[in-house]
Amino acid sequence: MLDDNELLRYSRQLLLPRFDVEGQLALKQARVLVVGSGGLGCPVALYLGAAGVGQLVLADDDAVELANLQRQIAFDQASVGRSKAEALAERVRAINPEISVTARVERLEGELLAEVVAGVDLVLDCTDNFNTRFALNRACVESRVPLVSGAAIRGEGQVSVFDSRDEASPCYHCLYPEQGNEDLNCSEAGVIGPLVGMIGATQAMEAIKVISGKGRPLVGRLLILDAWQMEWREMKLARDPDCPVCS
């Protein structure tokens, strides 16, 4: 149940007819893994923590750099040199001390990744490289854990939800083959700050929908943003019957 303090803290969400106490309780009971504590991970963790997700696990092995401060909104000048996961966890706890926030200052790989994914209800991919994205996708398919994927570079971003519990849902590998995709990161191509906030906030909204069972998540759909033109486009995604991961 929700105590008096929680009823007040989450009152604006509880007023929503389609969300109500049922949706809030679903958030409270959820265990969510956020992989990446940078441009996307910051708004994702801040919004999900503020919304009342009961258990957040933030994984990142990087430290805050001066060049991150242009877009990674959970950090300030004093954060430079600190672990991103720990600094972000500290900020989330400051916003909402009633939830559990765990920082994992390590790269999740192999059996460790599979073990951590199997222990949560939802994963958010806030990383910036294809190898990690493919590994996360495989782990989520194997454990039948929904995956909210986001990406942002230059002035373009995209968001989708891959839910292996739904037999019609494609997985990340259905969209991108592992061969022929080269990593392009912000340090090479650049990125405009508000873009990662927009994509991260959209990921957080999708996570709330998946957890609560309210609304229509982006399953089988890819949302693409051109921030310079402020145009959103939607592409339908079909499951690949020959996908080596989910078929």
Contact 125, 136 (CB under 8 A): yes
Can you give the three-state secondary structure of 30-75, one letter per residue? CEEEEECCCCCHHHHHHHHHHHCCCEEEEECCCECCHHHHHCCCCC
pLDDT value of position 189: 84
How many Cβ atoms from other residues are within 10 Å of residue 242's Cβ? 7
Whether residue 244 is contained in a domain is answered as: no
- pLDDT score of 67: 97
Q: Which residues pair with 235 in a beta bridge?
A: 222
Residues with Cβ within 8 Å of 178's Cβ and at least 6 positions away in sequence, in order, are 130, 134
Residue 100 one-letter amino acid = S
**Structural domain for 17, as ranges:** 4-236
**Cα–Cα distance for residue pair 179/177, rounded to 1 Å:** 5
Phi and psi angles of residue 93, each rounded to the nearest 5 degrees, phi first: -65, -35
Name the pLDDT band for 182 (thresholds 50, 70, 90): low
φ/ψ region of 144 (left if φ > 0, alpha if ψ in -120 to 50, else beta) reads left
What CATH number should be reported for the domain holding residue 140? 3.40.50.720
**Residue 247 included in any domain:** no
What pLDDT is attached to residue 186?
78
Specify the pTM.
Answer: 0.96
Q: What is the pLDDT of residue 118?
A: 98
Question: How many structural domains comprise the chain?
Answer: 1
Q: How many CA atoms lie within 13 A of 158 on its CB side?
A: 13
User: Is residue 246 assigned to a domain?
Assistant: no
Q: Note the pLDDT of residue 93.
A: 98
Mean pLDDT of the chain: 96
d(C-alpha 46, C-alpha 39), whole Å: 12
| 200 in any annotated domain | yes
Q: Please report whether residue 242 resides in a domain.
A: no
Euclidean distance between CA atoms 55 and 121, whole angstroms: 10
Residue 21 is classified by DSSP as H
The reply to whether 245 falls in a domain is no
Give the residue-averaged pLDDT of 168-175: 96
73 belongs to a structural domain: yes
Task: Please state, in angstroms and rounded to a whole number, the distance separating the CA atoms of residues 30 and 91.
Answer: 20
